[in-house]
Structures are given as C-alpha cells and as structure tokens.
Amino acid sequence: MKKILLVFILTSFGIYCWGTNFVIVNAGTALAPVFSPSTITITQNDNITFTLGAFHDAVEVSLATWNADGISPKIGFSVPFGGGNVLGSQLAIGTHYYVCENHAPMGMKGTIIVQAASGVIDHKVQDNILIYPNPAKENLNIQLNPSSLKVIEIKLFNFQGKLMNVLLSKTEISGFYQRSFPLNKDIAPGVYFVQVLSDNTTTYQKVVIQ
C-alpha cells in the first residue's frame, strides 16, 4: 500500500510539477558557432535539454565573464560536452548566463531567464535543501541548512517507487550540513527521486542520473 501511494505521489509529481521541455542545440558555422535559441524564458517547473556536438558544452558564468566572452569563474549549472539536462527547479529566479568553454571567445553563449511558476510545489525542504549536480553521474551532493535541530533521512527512489538506496539514515542535523553521496554502480541511468524526510515533512526532488 505504501509503495502504491509513493508511485502515485511520484507520478503526480512528474505530471504536475514538471512543465515544458526546452531544447537548445548548437548551430552556426565552425567559425561562428552559436546556441540556438540563444535566449529562452522558462519557469521553474520547466526543463532544458542541451543537444550539442562533441566539442560543445554549456557552463554557467557570471555576467562579467559572459560580457568578456570568458569561461572563468564557473558558477551554477554545467552541461558536459555532447549535451545534457538542466532542471528549472535547480535554477534561481532571474537571468543565468552560460557559454561554451571551447568557443566562448568566438561568442558562443546564451541566457536562460527563469520566472516563478505559479502553483508549483516547492521541491525544497522548508528551511533549505540543495541537491547537485543534476544530472549526476558518480556522486550526489546534498546541502541542508535547517533553522533548528531536525531529524533528517534521505532516500533514493526510482520512477516506479522502488527504494534504490538509503543515502542517509535518521540523523540529527542543526545548522549547515553538506555531504557527497557516492552513487551505486548498479543504479542505471534514468530519472530518480530523492526523498527527504524532515520531522513531519516529506519532500521529493527529481534528479537525473547519467
């Protein structure tokens, strides 16, 4: 019964909390490559898929770096060469600037404008939770910052509601907490959900494992 309820919650989560999927590709010429579209506006329940060539990636940089056609320092999201996914829920409201590391000096850069999504379930624990990178490959980093002492438990489920791993058994946390969890090699690439239990609050966050 609990598994059926969990599947229902995750399915509802996937249907109602995740909106449009935007696709960004590389275009232009070898001497003048560009991202297409170079600017998109999304809400925090939307997702972005970068479909790129083997020599193109997408990394978030500061506005100053973006204006200078530079590549450092990197901040925020990072998409590997060949492409990957970025979840709108991981991006703060506002404008995000990104470049291709190989071709930033040639002007290959873009912007993602993130707007608040009305009626979208907040994916974060009431105090604060940050899960990254997303997509993840070998490790999943989780940051928590509860305002008071809380008992936290973190589990990883697949999209069918099957428990794949208990990342953190019940642990008392007070103040900033950060930990990197290695992903089991037997976890296949796909869409998963991180369940965070905090006292009487249960929250799910969607993650993609490559």
Which top CATH class is 18-115? mainly beta
For CATH 2.60.40.420, the residue range(s) in the chain are: 18-115
Please state whether beta strands 139-144 and 33-36 pair in parallel, antiparallel, or not at all (unpaired).
Answer: unpaired
Burial of 144 (0-12, 13-18, 19+ CB in 10 A): buried
Is the separation of the CB atoms in 152 and 196 below 8 Å? yes
Nearest-angstrom CA–CA distance, 85 and 40 = 15
Nearest-angstrom CA–CA distance, 143 and 14 = 23
For CATH 2.60.40.1930, the residue range(s) in the chain are: 2-13+122-209
pLDDT at residue 139, rounded to an integer: 87
Segment 138-160 shows an average pLDDT of 83
CATH code of the domain made up of 2-13+122-209: 2.60.40.1930
Q: What is the pLDDT of residues 1-19, one digit of tens each?
A: 555 455 544 544 443 444 6
Give alpha helix (H) positions in the chain. 2-16, 63-67
Q: What is the pLDDT of residues 22-47, one digit of tens each?
A: 899 999 998 999 999 999 998 887 88
